[in-house]
Structure 1
Amino acid sequence: MTARKVGLIGWGAIGRVVGTALVRQQVPGAELLCLVDNRPLGEAAPAPQVSFEEALERCDLIVEAAGQGVVRAWGERVLASGADLLIASTGALTDEELSQRLRTTGPGRVYFTGGAVGGLDLLQAVRSLGPLDHVLLTTTKLPATLEQPWMGDALLTRMRTATGPVEVLSGTAREVPARFPRSTNVAASVALAVGDLDAVRVRVVADPAAHHTRHVIEASGAHGSYRFEVSHLPDPGNPATSQVVPHAVLRSLSVLAGRTGQIL
């Protein structure tokens, strides 16, 4: 089998782990050909740093590890070029018009990774039994990782002076990821698994004691009830991202590269 020719967009907390693993040949069947980043990486880059256009010419698989804006700006161009696209920033897919365009643009194919949460395969499976009546995702993180430009002084003060958990925002999976573009991609991943952005309620909680990022999914319907809870250490360089996220991307890459013995 011919190795997948991978172009990586983003050399941050996720991209560095993914790119380093690819260079070390830790993903059989996948080869890192180039990097795209808006900062000059110099000797820090383990592969040639090229323009987005050149990456499309060289690669048959583009990995997005740079944020929702990249998916919006470049996603369709990747697919139209014939390359496949693996999305880490699933929050971009809560824009239903964009999501539909990505699903219908080709000949490239679009994929997304579950990132920091589990149980998505089971939620996808139970959809065939009927709709879920209740789906709630509660995400708890350190207050500083949740601060956003749109927040008012009162809310920021509550978060910064909190001695216990503070609910920062509650809404649907359509609404919340857009307000926290780097912190709540999990909400979009759950909604994509459930198949309905408005059916998934999301609570974002700031907790000064949250040394681990915690995601709790509770779902129920006529066919059963389900609860998944995960707790991750945040990435030390970017606490808004859990350490496990780049490894979820690498697992998805392994599947796309054709490694056998995977649970799909």
Structure 2
Amino acid sequence: MTRTLAVGLVGWGAIGRVVGTALAQQGVRGAELACIVDNRPLGDAAPAPQVSFEDAIERSDLIVEAAGQGVVREWGERVLTAGTDLLVASTGALTDEELAKKLLAAGPGRVYFTGGAVGGLDLLQAVRSLGPLDEVSLTTTKLPSTLEQPWMDAELLERMRAASGPVEVMSGTARDVPVKFPKSTNVAASVALAVGDLDAVRVRVVADPAAERTRHVIEASGPHGAYRFEVAHRPDPANPATSQVVPYAVLRSLSALARRSGQIL
């Protein structure tokens, strides 16, 4: 008899509510919602016991992080060393190479990552096994309001707010950009994880007042071929910095982990 996977969910925001509700309604075969961790009292809104992080580790076979990069930094290693598995949605945390090394070396729990709002990562991983890619780029375009950050100076903020067309907000590598946009550019880290090199992925972040959809364009080329992937998602109504599809990508990964039937994570 197959054992049901007990899932501890960290975060009851735009991602967590969808994932937690689906689990509570038995929408993922082979998995159940064991508990929820959130720094706000949820009361009757919680379809499972709201517990401390320490208790969640004890109650769960798998912790799902749906609350931001800080959770991965603070708790990731502790989850894994306790023998509990970890599914990371905020892949931007892995641009910290020391943290990434610690998580990959920790155990006996296992760490997994979800691709979130972007596709084509499995193909990039396959191509990587043939040899390094010569060029990899990602252009992410979002509404200006979703990209505003505390570190931005008055001139940049004014350019974004007054823009009548696309404005480049930042360019750099997949090592640099997710740190500056911790809630908006996890895709950059996901692409870099697939390619295996944070510095090889060139990233542009563009603010566009006409961006009804969040757009990610990945282009890669090398000796073995050329590849281009483009996605355009509806932003989540509750949190426009996140694409509406992200919680469903998490649920897909959960389904694969629960069933172990050969699905791609």
Alignment check: 8 A CA contact 1:29 1:259 kept: no
How far has the Cα of 1:258 moved from its partner? Answer: 1.4
The aligned runs of 1:1-264 (5 Å cut-off) are 1-258=2-259, 260=261, 262-263=263-264
Q: What TM-score comes out, normalization by structure 2 length?
A: 0.99
Identical columns (%): 80
C-alpha contact (below 8 Å) 1:67/1:181 kept by paired residues? yes
Q: Tell me the C-alpha RMSD between the 2 structures.
A: 0.8
By how many angstroms is 1:262 displaced?
Answer: 2.8
Misfit runs of 4+, over 6 Å: none
Distance 1:52 1:13 in 2: 20
Contact 1:28 1:259 in 2 (8 A): no
Counterpart amino acid of 1:140? T
Q: Secondary structure at the match of 1:211?
A: coil
Alpha-carbon distance in 2 for matches of 1:45, 1:248: 22
Equivalent residue letter for 1:53:
E
| CA separation of 1:185 and 1:215: change in aligned 2, threshold 3 A | same
Partners of 2:61 and 2:251 in 1: CA distance: 16
In structure 1, the residue corresponding to 2:209 is in which secondary structure?
A: coil
Unaligned runs of 5+ residues in structure 2 are: none
1:259: how far off?
5.4
Aligned length: 264
Contact 2:256 2:262 in 1 (8 A): no
**Matches of 1:251 and 1:63, distance apart in 2:** 12
Shift of 1:193: 0.1
The one-letter code of the counterpart of 1:122 is: L
In 1, Cα distance between the equivalents of 2:70 and 2:205? 22
TM-score w.r.t. length of structure 1: 0.99
Deviation at 1:123, TM superposition (A): 0.1
Q: Which runs of 5+ in 1 are unaligned?
A: none
Distance 1:262 1:233 in 2: 25
Q: State the distance in 1 between where 2:262 and 2:237 align.
A: 32
How far off is 1:67 after superposition? 0.1
**Structure 2 CA distance, aligned partners of 1:259 and 1:156?**
47
Q: Which whole-Å deviations, capped at 9, do the CAs of 1:67-121 have from their partners, x for residues lacking one?
A: 0000000000000110000000000000000000000000000000000000000
State the AA in 1 paired with 2:200. A
